[in-house]
């Protein structure tokens, strides 16, 4: 069966190792399989749910495209496009917001985390954001959606919206109910400063994350300063349950080398962290440096990046326009 893949990344700058290991690395593997039909979207409409500087946003859109290509996504094989260019996304989001229930949205943990104590002051868009995400996916009849673990609840909501729309309008199978593609392990990369918090673009301290554009020296320095605990390296996987920082660093090592947790633990069992950190930095530098080099190179080729978005827009728009037309008919417009 041909898998129809759809996923998105916000162009908010500072794409990091969590984005890479949790999502983009997976996009590349899916792109490389000829049986898949892939669409990767730069979700700028999502980005403006919090305030953005227009000039920076424009640069970040290009940087996200550059990151996709530098990581190995081939724009000739997969569609890469910018969400705001295909107006059907905003339109479908409105229609689906009349299907989704406020109770469903109120349960979204990411909203609660992002809004914090001041729920009254955040934008309406931040609250309704998962409906836009559902529109993204459902417009293309995506069957599979590769994401990191933090997006799991949003995908469940997307499935609920698809099913309710199909039921309400007696339009059996009109919206495909998509399957999440979330890696079993390493699907949530944590902060280098606190192993219980997600590695994130919005974290104030740059030392908490490895950015995909960091130099080798920056990577080595950040890993050297990464939080650990006073014990030597673990000798059994079970020990990791109580040692979040060790678990995260060994997870990053395993994910980049392709080794299982057990094999990585055996390699460094009982040794001290500094030895492991040296090896870990080396592995990260080997993986990230070529990507970082390529991103910087592509950022000087603005017209190449813009062409990718124009071609992507044409292909995505063709599909989305057909779907939104059918949505209009079903709804009664």
- Residues sharing a CB contact under 8 Å with residue 165, sequence separation 6 or more, in sequence order: 96, 99, 171, 174, 175
Active site residue 201: yes
Judged by CB under 6 A, does residue 10 bind ligand TYM? yes
Which residues in 87-146 contact ligand TYM (CB under 6 A)?
133, 136-137, 145
* Identity of the residue, 46 or 247, whose beta carbon is nearer to ligand TYM in the bound complex: 46
Residue-wise DSSP of 173-190: TSS--PEEE--SSSSSPB
- What is the Cα–Cα distance from 295 to 272, expressed in whole angstroms? 35
Q: Which long-range contacts (CB under 8 A, 24 or more apart) does 202-211 make?
A: 202/12, 209/14, 209/16, 209/17, 209/18, 210/16, 210/17, 210/284, 210/288, 211/14, 211/15, 211/16, 211/17
Out of 4, 5, 13, 19, the residue judged to bind ligand TYM by CB under 6 A:
19
Handedness of CA 195, 199, 202, 208 (dihedral sign): positive
**147 sits near ligand TYM (criterion: CB under 6 A):** yes
Of residues 165-194, which lie at the interface with ligand TYM (CB under 6 A)?
A: 187-189
Q: Pick one of 4, 8, 62, 85: the residue that binds ligand TYM (CB under 6 A).
A: 8
Q: How far is the CB of 22 from ligand TYM (least distance, A)?
A: 2
114 is catalytic: yes
Q: How far apart are the first and last CA of the chain?
A: 34
CA distance 146 to 144: 7
Among 44, 63, 150, 203, the residue binding ligand TYM under the rule CB under 6 A is: 150
The SS3 assignment for 38 reads strand
Among 22, 75, 234, 312, binds ligand TYM (CB under 6 A): 22
- What's the closest the beta carbon of residue 142 comes to ligand TYM, in angstroms? 8
Window contacting ligand TYM (CB under 6 A); options: 70-78, 95-103, 147-155, 229-237: 147-155
Question: Of residues 152, 164, 193, 201, which has the active-site annotation?
Answer: 201
Phi, psi of 170 (to 5 degrees): 50, 45
Task: Let me know if 326 is a catalytic residue.
Answer: no
Catalytically active residues are 114, 198, 201
Binding-site ranges for ligand TYM (CB under 6 A): 6-10, 18-19, 22-23, 43, 46, 133, 136-137, 145, 147-148, 150-151, 187-189, 198-199
């Amino acid at each position: 069966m041909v898998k129809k893949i759809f996923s998105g990344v916000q162009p908010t700058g500072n794409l990091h190792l969590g984005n890479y290991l949790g999502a983009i690395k997976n996009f590349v593997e899916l792109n490389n399989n000829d049986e898949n039909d892939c669409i990767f979207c730069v979700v700028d409409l999502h980005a403006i749910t919090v305030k953005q500087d227009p000039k920076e946003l424009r640069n970040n859109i290009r940087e996200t495209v550059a990151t996709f290509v530098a990581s190995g996504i081939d724009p000739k094989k997969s569609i890469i496009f910018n969400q705001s260019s295909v107006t059907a996304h905003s339109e479908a989001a409105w229609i689906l917001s009349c299907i989704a229930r406020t109770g469903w949205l109120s349960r979204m943990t990411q909203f609660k985390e992002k809004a914090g104590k001041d729920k009254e002051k955040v934008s309406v868009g931040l609250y309704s954001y998962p409906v836009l995400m559902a529109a993204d996916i459902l417009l293309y009849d995506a069957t599979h959606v590769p994401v990191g673990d933090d997006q799991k609840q949003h995908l469940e909501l997307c499935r609920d919206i698809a099913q309710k729309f199909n039921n309400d309008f007696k339009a059996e199978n009109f919206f495909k109910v998509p399957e999440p593609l979330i890696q079993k392990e390493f699907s949530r990369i944590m902060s280098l400063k606190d192993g219980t918090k997600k590695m994130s673009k919005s974290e104030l301290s740059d030392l908490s994350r490895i950015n995909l554009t960091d130099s080798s020296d920056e990577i080595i320095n950040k890993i050297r300063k990464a939080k650990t605990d006073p014990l030597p390296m673990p000798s059994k996987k079970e020990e990791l349950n109580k040692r979040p920082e060790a678990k995260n660093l060994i997870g990053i090592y395993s994910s980049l080398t392709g080794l299982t947790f057990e094999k990585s633990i055996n390699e460094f069992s009982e040794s001290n962290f500094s030895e492991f950190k040296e090896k870990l930095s080396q592995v990260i530098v080997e993986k990230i440096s070529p990507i970082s080099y390529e991103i910087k190179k592509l950022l000087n080729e603005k017209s190449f990046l813009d062409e990718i978005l124009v071609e992507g827009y044409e292909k995505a728009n063709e599909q989305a326009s057909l779907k939104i037309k059918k949505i209009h008919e079903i709804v009664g417009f």
